[in-house]
């Protein structure tokens, strides 16, 4: 990764840090959903698979696929960079899709107040995913030649 500029490395480490912080929180949250506990969202809605079966599928995908792949990708960036970048690129598409879906659902049906908690819970995942995808596109030749 020495081929990357200092700015590019800083951006990467900041993204990895944000992903590394958000992933365990999401993992814990979704495990609670899978256990059947309705979880109150910042927009006033509840994630409960008893009422909304789609939440069970999303929670299942997060717990058994997205979160483990995200953590593995972060670790692999330092152990086997090419594989880490592959995994994080895939997970970034999940961050964008899942958070776009939840953000638009929240805006459409809950009409939330734009609090800091709401911004962190919903659209921040879209931003993180998009920034990582853009970072990957800009540095494609460098990171996939490692």
pLDDT tens digit sequence for 53-82: 666 788 889 999 999 999 999 999 999 999
Instruction: Dig out the tokens for 47 from the structure.
Output: 């994630």
Residue ranges per structural domain of the chain: 6-27+68-143
37 or 80, which is more confident: 80
Q: What angle do CA 52, 61, 30 make, to 5 degrees?
A: 65
Q: Cα separation of 98 and 62, whole Å?
A: 9
Cβ(45)–Cβ(38) below 8 Å: no
Global confidence as pTM: 0.89
| Residue 40 β-bridge partners | 46
Closest CA to 132 of 19, 15, 8, 1: 15
What tokens does 68 get? 């483990």
Which residue, among 144, 99, 116, 143, has the nearest Cα to 2 in the 3D structure? 143
The answer to whether residue 28 scores a pLDDT higher than 70 is: yes
């Amino acid at each position: 990764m020495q081929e990357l500029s200092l700015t590019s490395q800083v951006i990467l480490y900041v993204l990895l840090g944000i992903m590394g912080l958000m992933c365990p929180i999401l993992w814990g949250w979704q495990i609670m959903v899978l256990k059947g506990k309705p979880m109150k969202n910042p927009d006033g809605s509840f994630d409960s698979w008893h009422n909304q079966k789609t939440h069970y599928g999303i929670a299942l995908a997060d717990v058994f696929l997205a979160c483990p792949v995200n953590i593995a990708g972060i670790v692999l960036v330092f152990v086997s960079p090419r594989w880490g970048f592959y995994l994080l690129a895939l997970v970034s598409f999940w961050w964008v899709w899942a958070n776009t879906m939840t953000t638009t659902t929240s805006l459409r049906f809950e009409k939330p107040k734009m609090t800091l908690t709401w911004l962190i819970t919903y659209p921040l995942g879209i931003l993180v995913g998009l920034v990582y995808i853009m970072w990957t596109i800009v540095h494609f030749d460098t990171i996939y030649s490692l």
